[in-house]
Amino acid sequence: MNETTLFYLSDLFGVAVFAITGALMAGRKSMDIFGVLVVAFVTALGGGTLRDVILGRHPVSWIGDETYLTVVTLAALGTVLWVKMTRPIHELGLQVADAFGLAVFTVIGTQVALAHEVPTSAAVIFGVMTGVAGGVIRDMICNDIPLIFHKELYATPCILGSLTYIGLQPLALPSYIEVLGAMAVVLAVRLGAIFFHWQLPRFHLLDRDEQQDL
């Protein structure tokens, strides 16, 4: 399998996973089928669209290839049917599915940025943007606090995964090893945050009443 095919299949996989998380979130909010599709499309394609627009990458992936729209539609409707025929998916299931999508999109975003010969720091930013932007828009539409602002690590796994992918480039390893290695870092850190509540130090500014209580 050549690198182009691997990139394309990985991108479609990430789109499908994020479409599923979007559909599940819409289901938690009791949306109709149209709402489910809208949230699924925004979640799956929002980060990549923002990345491509900023980089001047035209046409945007899903505009130039209808396969993306087909994958989102099938993933969203398939999720609705699966839940209706079985049972609602637990919150943990939504978070784990989101972690897989986060891993895939972070690496893809970094790959695309490096292909446009941007500086390393910018490539990391684009990797994070691709991973988190769709989920942020999804959560805002659903009137939830975006996961990136929760106390558990969310953007940090993306940063570490992007840096891992960039760090593997000089080793001239097979492309699938670079991709899977970086994805594994994102997934491991994000799942660790979910299950063990890893978090960054919080900054809390005391208000006047709290200061008086000290």
Single-letter amino acid code for the residue at 155: A
What per-residue confidence (pLDDT) applies to 9? Answer: 87
Q: What is the pLDDT along the chain (214 residues), one digit of tens a residue?
A: 677 787 888 889 889 989 998 998 898 899 999 999 999 999 999 999 999 999 998 888 899 899 999 999 999 999 999 888 887 667 777 788 889 889 999 999 999 999 999 999 999 999 999 999 998 999 899 988 887 776 678 899 999 999 999 999 999 888 889 989 999 999 999 999 989 988 887 776 666 655 555 5
pLDDT at position 151: 63
Residue 77: C-alpha distances to residues 30, 83, 139 (Å): 14, 10, 19
- Look at residue 166 in the predicted model and tell me its pLDDT: 96
What residue spans define the domains of the chain?
3-213
In this prediction the pTM is 0.86
